[in-house]
Amino acid sequence: MPRNSTRLTFTVLATGGGVFSMLQSLIAPALPTIQHALHTSQSTATWVMTAYLLSASIFTPILGRVGDLVGKKRTLVAVLVALVLGCLLAALAPTIGVLIIARVIQGIGGALLPLSFGIIRDEFAAAEVGSSISNFSAVIAAGGGVGMVAAGPIVTALDYRWLFWLPVAVVAATALIALRCIPESPRRAAGRVNWAGAGLLSGWLVALLLPLSQASTWGWTSTRVIGLFAAAVVLFALWLLAEARSRHPLIDLRVMRLPAVWTTNTAALLFGAGMYSIWSFLPGFTQTPRSAGYGFGASVTGAGLLMLPMLVAMFFSGVLSGRLAPLFGAKKLLISGAALGAVACGVLSAWHDQQWQVALAAGIFGLGIGLAFSSMANLIVGSVPAEQTGAATGMNANIRTIGGSIGASVTSVLVTGHLQSSGLPQASGYTHAFALLALLCLGASLAALLVPARRASRTTLLAQSSDELLAAPAVEARTVSPSTRG
């Protein structure tokens, strides 16, 4: 593929992935506005976030696997079209119910991550894969930061519906360019979609994530929460059994057991818990009135500006990691990124009385996110067979999301467990929460120490070794003829 084509391909992938990532965080600051505009309750409005989370968790690994089987380009274009339709429906939604349905459709966009990683691996020169994955990961991480920063000004200057109108034109143009300019993948996995495995995977993910996201409303000891957790355990066991027995598993468990994969996924679980919790609770901390004894009484826009150092730092460290990986290896970058997250949370736990302290901690955490995001993706892509890239990276993204849900739920318990007479959380709740997040990020750094040492310059050789190790009829690759490409 000519160099200018790879640049165009990367631009298309980064635009689609960045918009999806932005939609994750763009809505959270606007939930009170949406609740008021659509005349609904706070508990119902939270389903705007919950529906998106559940949908993305289901579709990310499933469509990643579909892309491995039927072609990453055609799956990518279909996902982009779904994202356009979801944004269009959300912008026009007359009721909260329609908006929730629109968010479910938008969640299909989660598959953009594994599909993009797979296309980069298939189409780019071996020497460019590591840096391109790092740059793409930096865009994904920065997209979440852009959402936090941009939500306030957009809602203030326009209307919350513009949070959805603006992505419509961008993603529609991206889909058209992808259809015309991205070549079809030369590698395909053999077999078919294991729909039984897909159903069980969807079942245990919903049964796990739903009570985690709603436990603060339903109560941790409520019948619904306990029942769903029990169902998640049973469905997870059935899923493992079904995948182990299937000739064409949705997620090849042998791949998941590779040392570089399970250790990286463990780090993703713990780091995700810290990262999503910071994204969820730090803006609320800054918006707390000073009368509570902490906080700065910031507006939504002001809270976003305090998060700006995180956005800038995560983007530049993500891009820089592509240059550092050949020198130090992705493992060391993951260890360093998680450690920086631990330092940032430790700073927040000890010092949060001044705005500059919060901005400094946010910047440090941003450095950690940029390094960790890119290194996790590179470790997974460099450790699995090419025809398993979509499914493996999809599961890594899912595990990070699961960690985020667990971390946010536990953080919510700590923050809201003891309230002042005014109804605002005690300062100690945030202090304890930030300390816990520091421990989780430290745990991620320790988990990363277990990742087998591997230099980014050897990615291709190691991936080929994994292909040979796992070669079997169930995962045997087919090569698309040159005439079917681009």
3-state secondary structure 7-46: HHHHHHHHHHHHHHHHHHHHCHHHHHHHHHHCCCCHHHHC
Classify 238 in phi/psi space as left (phi over 0), alpha (psi -120 to 50) or beta: alpha
Q: What are phi and psi of 247, to 5 degrees?
A: -75, -25
Q: Are residues 149 and 211 in the same domain?
A: no
Q: How many CB atoms lie within 10 A of CB 449?
A: 13
99 and 34 together in one domain? yes
Interval 53-103: pLDDT, tens: 888 888 988 898 888 888 889 999 999 999 999 999 999 999 999 999 999
Query: What one-character-per-residue DSSP string does 31-96 give?
Result: HHHHHHHTT--HHHHTHHHHHHHHHHHHHHHHHHHHHHHH-HHHHHHHHHHHHHHHHHHHHH--SH
CB neighbour class for 176 (10 Å; exposed up to 12, middle 13-18, buried from 19): middle
Mean pLDDT value of segment 263-288: 90
Question: What is the average pLDDT across 440-455?
Answer: 89
What percentage of the chain reaches a pLDDT higher than 90?
40
Do the Cβ atoms of 431 and 281 come closer than 8 Å?
Answer: no
Per-residue pLDDT, 454 = 59
Res. 2: pLDDT tops 70: no
Residue 127 and residue 241 share a domain: no
Looking at the fold, whether 306 and 175 belong to one and the same domain comes out as yes
Q: 204 and 325 in one domain?
A: no
Q: Is the pLDDT of residue 475 over 60?
A: no
Mark whether 149 and 230 lie in a shared domain: no
Q: In this structure, are 390 and 444 located in the same domain?
A: yes
Residues 153, 212 within the same domain: no
Asked if residue 469 has pLDDT above 60, the reply is no
Task: Tell me the pLDDT band of 122, cut-offs 50, 70 and 90.
Answer: confident
213 and 180 fall within a common domain: no
Asked if the model's pLDDT at residue 467 lies above 60, the reply is no
CATH code of the domain containing 259: 1.20.1250.20
Q: pLDDT tens digit string along 336-371?
A: 999 999 999 999 999 999 999 999 999 999 999 999
Q: Each residue of 292-338: pLDDT tens digit?
A: 999 999 888 888 888 889 989 988 898 888 888 888 889 999 999 99
pLDDT value of residue 190: 66
Mean pLDDT to the nearest integer, 216-232 = 91
Distance, CA of 350 to CA of 327 (rounded, Å) = 34
Q: Which two tokens stand for residue 55?
A: 């949908």
pLDDT score recorded for residue 6: 84
Reported confidence tier of residue 457, pLDDT bands at 50, 70, 90: very low
What is the pTM (predicted TM-score) of this model? 0.81
Same domain, 224 and 188: no
Which residue in 339, 348, 302 sits closest to 447, CA to CA? Answer: 339
Phi, psi of 187, deg, nearest 5: -110, 140
- Clarify whether residues 301 and 422 are in a common domain: yes
Residues 392-439 have pLDDT tens digits of 888 888 898 888 888 888 888 888 878 888 888 899 999 999 999 999
Sign (positive/negative) of CA torsion 205, 206, 208, 212?
A: positive
Q: How many independent structural domains does the chain possess?
A: 2
How big is the CA angle at 204 (ends 377 and 44), to the nearest 5 degrees? 95
Residues 331, 388, single domain; the answer is yes
Mean pLDDT calculated for residue range 123-148:
85
Identify the CA nearest to 474 among candidates 254, 248, 250, 251: 248
- Domain encompassing residue 254: 3-194+246-484
| For residue 450, pLDDT beyond 90 | yes
